[in-house]
Structure 1
Amino acid sequence: MRTGEPLPSTGDILAALATGLWHWDTATELVTVDAEAARLLGLPARPTTLTEAQARARLHPDDWNEITGVVPLAVAEGTLAEVRIRIIDEQGHVLRVVRSRSKPSYDRERHAYELIGTLQEVTEPAPGTSSARSAVTGDWRRSREAFLLDAGRALAEARSTEEVLRVAAGLSMPGFSPDGLAVFGVEGERLTIIGHHGYAPGDDGPFTHMPLSTNYPAAEVVRTGRAVYLSSPGDYRDRYPAAWPLAEQFGRRSWAFLPLTAGGHTMGAWMAAFSYPVAFTPDERAVLTTVARMLAQALSRASAAETQRELTEGLQRSMLPSLIAGIPGMNVAARYIPTGGGLQVGGDWYDMIPLPGGATGRSTDGGRFALVIGDVQGHDVRAAGLMGQLRIALRAYAAEGHRPDAVLSRASRFLHGITHDEELAQLRFATCLYAEADPATGRLEVARAGHPDPVVRMADGTVMTRPTAGGPPLGVDPDADYPTTRFTLEPGETMMLCTDGLIETGGHDMESGWRRVRAILEEHAVSDADRERGLEELADALVQGVHGPSSHHTTGPLTDRREDDIAVLLLYRGEEPEREETARTRVRSTLLSVAQDEPERIAEARQYLRELLHDWVSPDQVDSAVLLVSELITNVLVHTDADALLLAEIFGQSGARRLRVQVTDTGADLPHKRRPGELASSGRGLMLIELLADAWGVEPQGKGKSIWFELYEQDGEGGEGGGAAAVEWGLSDEL
């Protein structure tokens, strides 16, 4: 070109440099190219306008995805969009590789991008060369895609902030990896450091609680929501002279500060520092930006989960009571395990309520207490709310001094009153068991509302379900009655109260689940030597046997998902010195009452006695004992107006034991032996006792009388034929 001649046009200059021009408007979905750009795309060398689909057909599919990812990033950061693109022919073969550089803009009114850029052919770098690290195509691309997939999966699985930071610290980016990381959060108008990696403890001191107005890269990122890339110490020093002395001491050479944005809100910043220079090409920026987005989402999820856990633990602590300590002669342990879903609270609960003392006339001291366990239908927030209301109501009724039956009757009316106006699909009921305990005597008074019976582990390891009278679940019938069952927890015995979640889980029904729980109770003895720890270990063993390791009710909830809530209460009565020699040899005993209006409980008494004698050597003697108990209790209900109280005790060692059964009533008339005719329907009770028992007798008492009999353990061949006698007399197992 001669001096003074006019400059050639821009198009001529670009053509001389083998560089084409193109224009893309996403609103019109049209791409306009000049002759050189058309040639590079494998089209005739003349200006033309293509649709997006036509232009996309000339590009490798992976590279089209690269373009659509880089353009929004360039707009957000105010930088050029630079990518390498493989041009393909109709058969999909790569013709050439071109570099595209453009300055994109975004029209908010049209919700569209507009790009004007250049295309220039480049030579694909050989694999393994240094330049291959920053190329979009080739091995680096495949490594980056694999890295992002792995990083996304790992961050998605992180459940806590600590775990998210640990995953972020372990990320190894393809071709370039930072050796210093820091995650900044925001509290008010100040930066906080959530966590860091690659720095010594205490290095974060100058950066903690830094005002957002500070001329520091992370503060600027939070203020503006735009990333900051510093490729050299000089860039850092020139742009942030006040903050440079704080960063200089760590010896890094390049820094990237990216916004952590979730839900359109910048929640903090992520710093990646490098000990070597990094140019931060568009490809590298795309990787860092993608990681920052995934990191922000993971931190947001973790923060929400931690907030929910704090809410759950606080809600549990407010709903679950503290157990009364220092009960003379007794120990209590409890566990509550939620389902593992949602707020991890549900309808199961337990409570321990101190009761009024002698002022009620029902006890001589103030040591009595009540144990309550229940299950409100459902596992949602509504169930948890009803549970809280019901628990408060039960405490109020108990504090007024009502008996167990009255407490449950009032609670049933209360629950019915707050739920009966709801839609039919929302009606709720609750099962419940309420037990008053007197530590001085071990006497228990139990009322039950549709709840599983208590279970007693005796001193010798025998485990039995303790039949108790009951009524319908609370809230079903506001006028329902809840009869009371009285029995004594003997020294060395443990009573378990639980919700059905402990039994009916893992595919088990009540029968198979009970066998599993029973085996756990049999294996774990509680001794007076260390009964508090022993009871706690038994509670842990019960929940671990169903769901694996668990925590005490005062700690955080379990994270694994469960089929149903679990509530467990354990009550242990310590052993006491016995005054009589015979008492010291007693290994098993039980006490059971049968009221005049509960004849159906005679069948329960028979079944309970069979369980008490589950390891008795002679089956015929067991049949004889069951027959005699049925006869004695029936005699009380038929011939008196009193209730029957059954006491069964076993003394001695296995193979040479003695069974003593005593039935007491308040009737004044003593029984007499009769001689019934052949067709008589009654009058054979004492004859049966005399025939089947090894010893028997009648003892008048101050008010009433007791009839007792004893059986001495024999082998299976030496029985008295009690089973045959039962058949002969035609007595069945159902009254």
Structure 2
Amino acid sequence: MTAQREGRAARLEPSLGQRFESSLQSLLPRESRIFGLLLGLAAVTGVLIWQVPLYVPLTAMVLPMVLASLLLGPRQLPWFVVLSLLILSVLVPVRDVKLDQRTISAVVILFAFGFIIMLASFRRSSLGVAGVRGESMLVDLRDRILRQGGMPELPSEWYAASELRSAGGTAFAGDFVVTARDGDRLNVAVVDVSGKGEGAGTRALLLSGALGGLIGALPQAEFLAAANDFLMRQDWEEGFATAVHLSVDLSTGRYAIRSAGHPPAALRVAGTGRWSVLEAEGPALGLIAKATYDAVEGTMRPGDALLLYTDGMVETPHRDIMLGVDKMLGRAELLLRGEFDGGAARLIEAIGSRNDDRALLLLHRR
């Protein structure tokens, strides 16, 4: 037993190399370690350019500079570029290669490349993080938007799905969906921020976080008014958004829909099999202070379905929006007949402008 304890202790005790690495990590920040490794790579590349110029050209110095632009922060990147170009300046005269027009052109291109990297680092200084880390932050924010639009778990007699497509296929969009469930009450908002694609993405990031908190914290009648007050305080140049808010009691099917300058929701009544629009009126968010939003109320019975969407699904420059709504509902009647599961994805792929953001939410009571 004693021998087993000693063996386990020996395995758990860190080795001398591990203790040295741990001490080094505690003494040097991560950025400093990366800077040192890249500087070593630049030095090794310089030695190879000097010793074997026929096999390692001057342009090999691009490799450490590209890695530095991806890994180093804006404070260290300019210094690294300066040191790399200094190594290059020393290498050119001592290399045992004729200084011809091709070599001069390579040196000029390398210096121009270093200058471009330095300009990029100066632009990055307002963010304060390295390129890859800044991109990962944006990806994380985008994923949070998508998670807020995910449907909570619903009772078996209900089906809901949301789909989002951005203009040009980019990862960021001005349309988004936020949801919240409190007991038997489901609240959903489909929002369209002014602009499209990446241009509206930053405003959508901020607004989705705010609305995601409001939709689960306020009574249904106060949600759009609070969202309007929030946008009024932002004072954006393109400071408006449209939204449609649905609140439904999952036990009874009783619903209330409020709209803020948004295309009308659509209801399919199982008894007739036809779609009809639900006209709820109200000004867009961020335009009129202290705006009020009236509700259109009704009851979803088994077999009924509701469709919420943004104008990218129905609007084109050369067509009235209501004609687009009629076209969308005609396709919905065809694509969703008898099978609502997966219907949101089928509908958003079949209709809508590829040059505009599109969001769609489908709610069906089985």
* TM-score, L = length of structure 2: 0.63
1:337 and 2:143 aligned? no
**Corresponding residue for 1:546?**
352
Q: Distance in 1 between matches of 2:52 and 2:45?
A: 13
Q: Distance in 2 between matches of 1:547 and 1:228?
A: 57
- Number of positions where the alignment pairs a residue of Structure 1 with one of Structure 2: 294
What code does the residue aligned with 1:542 have?
I
Q: Could you list the per-position Cα deviations for residues 75-133 of structure 1 after superposition, in whole angstroms to 9, with x for gaps in the alignment?
A: xxxxxxxxxxxxxxxxxxxxxxxxxxxxxxxxxxxxxxxxxxxxxxxxxxxxxxxxxxx
What code does the residue aligned with 1:315 have?
L
**Corresponding residue for 1:409?**
225
Q: Distance in 1 between matches of 2:243 and 2:315?
A: 17
Q: Distance in 1 between matches of 2:272 and 2:52?
A: 73
**Corresponding residue for 2:61?**
259
1:267-282 equivalences under 5 Å are 282=100
Q: Distance in 1 between matches of 2:350 and 2:136?
A: 24
Q: Relative contact order (C-alpha < 8 Å, sep 6+): which is higher?
A: 2
Structure 1 unaligned regions, length at least 5: 1-185, 192-211, 233-253, 270-277, 356-365, 549-561, 575-735
**Corresponding residue for 1:285?**
103
Q: Distance in 1 between matches of 2:154 and 2:170?
A: 36
Give 3-state SS (helix, strand or coil) of 1:471's partner. Answer: coil
**Corresponding residue for 2:362?**
570
1:393 and 2:214 aligned? yes
Residues 293 and 572 from structure 1, CA distance in 2 versus in 1: closer, same or farther, beyond 3 angstroms?
A: farther
Q: Distance in 2 between matches of 1:469 and 1:521?
A: 21
Q: Could you list the per-position Cα deviations for residues 33-72 of structure 1 after superposition, in whole angstroms to 9, with x for gaps in the alignment?
A: xxxxxxxxxxxxxxxxxxxxxxxxxxxxxxxxxxxxxxxx
1:317 and 2:143 aligned? yes
Pick from 238, 243, 251 the counterpart of residue 440 of structure 1: 251
Pick from 375, 380, 394 the counterpart of residue 192 of structure 2: 375
Q: Distance in 1 between matches of 2:115 and 2:304?
A: 54
Q: Distance in 2 between matches of 1:500 and 1:381?
A: 19
Q: Could you list the per-position Cα deviations for residues 456-497 of structure 1 after superposition, in whole angstroms to 9, with x for gaps in the alignment?
A: 345599553422332223344444432222223343343211
Residues 370 and 229 from structure 1, CA distance in 2 versus in 1: closer, same or farther, beyond 3 angstroms?
A: same
Contact 2:348 2:358 in 1 (8 A): no
Q: Distance in 2 between matches of 1:330 and 1:294?
A: 61
Q: Distance in 1 between matches of 2:238 and 2:102?
A: 59
Q: Distance in 2 between matches of 1:331 and 1:351?
A: 16
1:24-35 equivalences under 5 Å are none
Structure 2 unaligned regions, length at least 5: 1-32, 67-76, 86-95, 125-129
1:74-223 equivalences under 5 Å are 187-191=34-38, 212-213=39-40, 219-221=43-45
Residues 326 and 380 from structure 1, CA distance in 2 versus in 1: closer, same or farther, beyond 3 angstroms?
A: closer
Q: Distance in 2 between matches of 1:369 and 1:268?
A: 59
Contact 2:258 2:295 in 1 (8 A): yes
Residues 340 and 282 from structure 1, CA distance in 2 versus in 1: closer, same or farther, beyond 3 angstroms?
A: same
What code does the residue aligned with 2:61 have?
P
Contact 1:229 1:256 in 2 (8 A): no
What code does the residue aligned with 1:388 have?
G
Q: Distance in 1 between matches of 2:333 and 2:107?
A: 60
Contact 1:316 1:345 in 2 (8 A): no
Q: Could you list the per-position Cα deviations for residues 156-195 of structure 1 after superposition, in whole angstroms to 9, with x for gaps in the alignment?
A: xxxxxxxxxxxxxxxxxxxxxxxxxxxxxx933225xxxx
Q: Quote the offset at 1:338 in angstroms.
A: 3.5
Residues 455 and 350 from structure 1, CA distance in 2 versus in 1: closer, same or farther, beyond 3 angstroms?
A: same
Residues 475 and 283 from structure 1, CA distance in 2 versus in 1: closer, same or farther, beyond 3 angstroms?
A: closer
Q: Quote the offset at 1:353 in angstroms.
A: 0.9
Q: Provide the identity percentage.
A: 23
Q: Quote the offset at 1:283 in angstroms.
A: 4.6
**Corresponding residue for 1:492?**
303
Q: Quote the offset at 1:369 in angstroms.
A: 0.8
1:501 and 2:319 aligned? no
What code does the residue aligned with 2:177 have?
Y
**Corresponding residue for 1:587?**
none
Contact 2:313 2:353 in 1 (8 A): no
**Corresponding residue for 1:37?**
none
Contact 1:334 1:570 in 2 (8 A): yes
Residues 476 and 297 from structure 1, CA distance in 2 versus in 1: closer, same or farther, beyond 3 angstroms?
A: same
Give 3-state SS (helix, strand or coil) of 1:369's partner. Answer: strand
Give 3-state SS (helix, strand or coil) of 1:318's partner. Answer: helix
Contact 1:228 1:256 in 2 (8 A): no
Q: Could you list the per-position Cα deviations for residues 7-54 of structure 1 after superposition, in whole angstroms to 9, with x for gaps in the alignment?
A: xxxxxxxxxxxxxxxxxxxxxxxxxxxxxxxxxxxxxxxxxxxxxxxx
Contact 1:405 1:481 in 2 (8 A): no
Residues 308 and 539 from structure 1, CA distance in 2 versus in 1: closer, same or farther, beyond 3 angstroms?
A: farther
Give 3-state SS (helix, strand or coil) of 1:312's partner. Answer: helix
Q: Quote the offset at 1:436 in angstroms.
A: 1.4
Contact 2:240 2:284 in 1 (8 A): yes
1:354 and 2:178 aligned? no
1:712-731 equivalences under 5 Å are none
Q: Could you list the per-position Cα deviations for residues 343-362 of structure 1 after superposition, in whole angstroms to 9, with x for gaps in the alignment?
A: 8343x33111112xxxxxxx
Q: Distance in 1 between matches of 2:49 and 2:360?
A: 54
Pick from 35, 52, 72 the counterpart of residue 230 of structure 1: 52
1:9-20 equivalences under 5 Å are none
What code does the residue aligned with 1:335 have?
E
Q: Quote the offset at 1:415 in angstroms.
A: 4.0
What code does the residue aligned with 1:256 have?
P
Greater strand fraction, Structure 1 or Structure 2: 1
Rg larger for: 1
Q: Distance in 2 between matches of 1:477 and 1:413?
A: 9
Moved more, 257-266 or 441-450: 257-266
Q: Could you list the per-position Cα deviations for residues 271-300 of structure 1 after superposition, in whole angstroms to 9, with x for gaps in the alignment?
A: xxxxxxx97763553565577679879999
1:44-83 equivalences under 5 Å are none
Q: Quote the offset at 1:452 in angstroms.
A: 1.5
Q: Distance in 2 between matches of 1:331 and 1:569?
A: 11
Give 3-state SS (helix, strand or coil) of 1:495's partner. Answer: strand
What code does the residue aligned with 1:230 have?
V
Greater helix fraction, Structure 1 or Structure 2: 2
Q: Could you list the per-position Cα deviations for residues 379-434 of structure 1 after superposition, in whole angstroms to 9, with x for gaps in the alignment?
A: 2634642443244223321xxxx2x3333334434544x24xx4xx7473332222
Residues 345 and 394 from structure 1, CA distance in 2 versus in 1: closer, same or farther, beyond 3 angstroms?
A: same
